[in-house]
C-alpha cells in the first residue's frame, strides 16, 4: 500500500478511512442516501439523549435541586471537598451520595454495554434506556427529595455510560464540558488548516462540528424546556424524559429483535 492509499471500515453507515495521508484529516466519504440510515439514527438518538439530560438538569435545578447540576460530577466532587473542609458532614454526605449514585448508574450501564463503539443492532442499548427510564419514574413516583435526586443522578450516570465512539468522535450526552472542548478543537483545527492552505478532505472535521453543535443545542433546549415546564407542572414533568427514554429503548429493541431474527 502506498503512502497515499488508506484502509477503510464501515461504522454505522459511514465509510471511515482509518489511515489518512498527512494532508488529510480523517477523511470520511458518505455512502449513498439509501444506506444513510445509520448516521441519521445516531444523530437523532444523540439529540434526544442530550435533550433528556438537559431536561432533567433544568427541571432539577428549577425545583428539587437548586445547588448545582446533577450531571456535573466535577462540581459534585468540588462541593464534596468544600463541605469536608467546612466540617459540614451532612452536606458532604449529600454530595457523596450523588457521586456514588452517578457511579452506580454508569456501572449498571457497563453490565449492558461491553463495547464502546456504536454497533446498532448488536449492543444492548434498549436495556440501558429502559433502566434509565425506570430510575426517572421511581424518582418521580417516590417524590422524596434526597432519594429522588440520587435516582436522577443514577439515571444520568447510566445514560452517560452509553457514551460511544462514533467515527472518531466520543459521544457524551449528560454534560457539555467535553462537547464544548471538542467543538472548540474541531473549529480551531479547521481554521488552522484553512490558514495554512492545507489541501485535502476535511469532511470529518466539518461533520464533528455539526454533530457536536447538535448535541449542544439539544442539551440547551432540554434545559430550557425542563425549567419552564417545572415552573408550570412541578415534579411530574420528569415523566417526559422517562417516556422519551422508554420510547427510544422500545424502538431500538424491536429493531434489534428483527435484525436477530432475520439472520
Give the domain CATH number at 134. Answer: 1.20.1250
Dist. CA 126–CA 252, nearest whole Å: 6
The answer to whether residue 16 sits within a structural domain is: no
Residue that wins the pLDDT comparison between 103 and 204: 103
The answer to whether residue 101 sits within a structural domain is: yes
The structure's pTM equals 0.78
CB 128 within 8 A of CB 158: yes
Query: Per residue in 42-53, pLDDT tens?
Result: 788 889 999 999
The answer to whether residue 20 sits within a structural domain is: no
Name the percent of the chain lying above pLDDT 90.
35
The predicted pLDDT at position 174 comes to 81
The answer to whether residue 207 sits within a structural domain is: yes
The predicted pLDDT at position 34 comes to 41
The predicted pLDDT at position 86 comes to 93
For the chain, what is the domain count? Answer: 1
Domain hosting 71: range is: 37-261
The answer to whether residue 128 sits within a structural domain is: yes
The answer to whether residue 174 sits within a structural domain is: yes
CB 133 within 8 A of CB 182: no
The answer to whether residue 206 sits within a structural domain is: yes
Mean pLDDT of 166-190: 80
Cell triple for 144: 422524596
CB 27 within 8 A of CB 200: yes
Dist. CA 260–CA 122, nearest whole Å: 9
The answer to whether residue 19 sits within a structural domain is: no
The answer, yes or no, to whether residue 245 has pLDDT greater than 80, is yes
First to last CA, the chain: 35
The predicted pLDDT at position 190 comes to 86
Amino acid at each position: 500500500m502506498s503512502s497515499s492509499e488508506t484502509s477503510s471500515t464501515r461504522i454505522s453507515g459511514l465509510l471511515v478511512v482509518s489511515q489518512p495521508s498527512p494532508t488529510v484529516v480523517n477523511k470520511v466519504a458518505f455512502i449513498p442516501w439509501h444506506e444513510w440510515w445509520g448516521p441519521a439514527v445516531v444523530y437523532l438518538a444523540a439529540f434526544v439523549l442530550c435533550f433528556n439530560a438537559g431536561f432533567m438538569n433544568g427541571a432539577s435545578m428549577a425545583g428539587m435541586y437548586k445547588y448545582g447540576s446533577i450531571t456535573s460530577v466535577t462540581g459534585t466532587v468540588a462541593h464534596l471537598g468544600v463541605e469536608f473542609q467546612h466540617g459540614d458532614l451532612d452536606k458532604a454526605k449529600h454530595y457523596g451520595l450523588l457521586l456514588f449514585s452517578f457511579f452506580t448508574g454508569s456501572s449498571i450501564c457497563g453490565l449492558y454495554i461491553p463495547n464502546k463503539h456504536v454497533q446498532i443492532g448488536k449492543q444492548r442499548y434498549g436495556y440501558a434506556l429502559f433502566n434509565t427510564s425506570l430510575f426517572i419514574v421511581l424518582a418521580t413516583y417516590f417524590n422524596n427529595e434526597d432519594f429522588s435526586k440520587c435516582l436522577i443522578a443514577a439515571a444520568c450516570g447510566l445514560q452517560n455510560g452509553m457514551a460511544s465512539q462514533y467515527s472518531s468522535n466520543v459521544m457524551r450526552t449528560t454534560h457539555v464540558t467535553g462537547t464544548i472542548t471538542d467543538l472548540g478543537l474541531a473549529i480551531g483545527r479547521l481554521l488552522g488548516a484553512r490558514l495554512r492552505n492545507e489541501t485535502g478532505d476535511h469532511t470529518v472535521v466539518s461533520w464533528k462540528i455539526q454533530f457536536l453543535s447538535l448535541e449542544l443545542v439539544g442539551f440547551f433546549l432540554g434545559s430550557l424546556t425542563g425549567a419552564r415546564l417545572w415552573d408550570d407542572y412541578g415534579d411530574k414533568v420528569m415523566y417526559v424524559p422517562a417516556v422519551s427514554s422508554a420510547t427510544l429503548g422500545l424502538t431500538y429493541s424491536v429493531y434489534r429483535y428483527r435484525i436477530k431474527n432475520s439472520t
